[in-house]
Amino acid sequence: MAFVAEYLGQLSLNIGNNEPKYPTVVPVVDFNPDRDAARIETAIKTKGVDEQTIIDILTKRTYNQRRDIAFAYEKTAKKDMISALKGALSGSLETVILGLMKSTSQYDASEIRESIKGLGTDEETLIEILCSRSSEELVEIKKVYKENFKKDLEKDVAGDTSGNFAKLLLALVQTKRAEPSGIIDYEKIDDDARALYDAGVKIKGTDVPTWISIMSERSVPHLQKVFQRYKSYSPYDMQESIVKEVKGDLQKSFLVLVQCFENKQLFFAKRLNEAMKSKGAKEKIVTRIIVSRCEVDLQKICSEYKANFGQSLQKTIVEHTKGDYQKVLLGLCGPEQ
Q: How far apart are CA 237 and CA 239, in angstroms?
A: 6
pTM of the model: 0.92
User: Which among 260, 251, 247, 257 is positioned nearest to 171, based on CA atoms?
Assistant: 257
* Equal CATH topology for 33-101 and 186-262: yes
User: Which among 325, 324, 298, 328 is positioned nearest to 312, based on CA atoms?
Assistant: 298
| CATH fold of the domain at 264-333 | Annexin V; domain 1 (1.10.220)
Q: What Å distances lie between residue 144 and 112, 117, 139, 168, 171, CA to CA?
A: 11, 17, 9, 21, 19
What CATH code would you report for 104-174?
A: 1.10.220.10
Q: How far apart are CA 38 and CA 79, in angstroms?
A: 13
What was the pLDDT predicted at 233?
A: 96
Answer for the pair 173, 153: CB distance below 8 angstroms, yes or no: yes
| DSSP of 276-312 | HHSSS--HHHHHHHHHHHTTTTHHHHHHHHHHHHSS-
The architecture (CATH level 2) of 186-262 comes to: Orthogonal Bundle (1.10)
Residue 26 parent element (H or E): none
User: What residue ranges of the chain have pLDDT lower than 70?
Assistant: 1-18, 280-281
User: Which among 106, 64, 56, 100 is positioned nearest to 82, based on CA atoms?
Assistant: 100
Superfamily of domain 33-101: Annexin (1.10.220.10)
User: Which among 264, 198, 263 is positioned nearest to 230, based on CA atoms?
Assistant: 198
What was the pLDDT predicted at 70?
A: 98
Could you tell me the residue ranges of all domains in the chain?
33-101, 104-174, 186-262, 264-333
What was the pLDDT predicted at 20?
A: 85
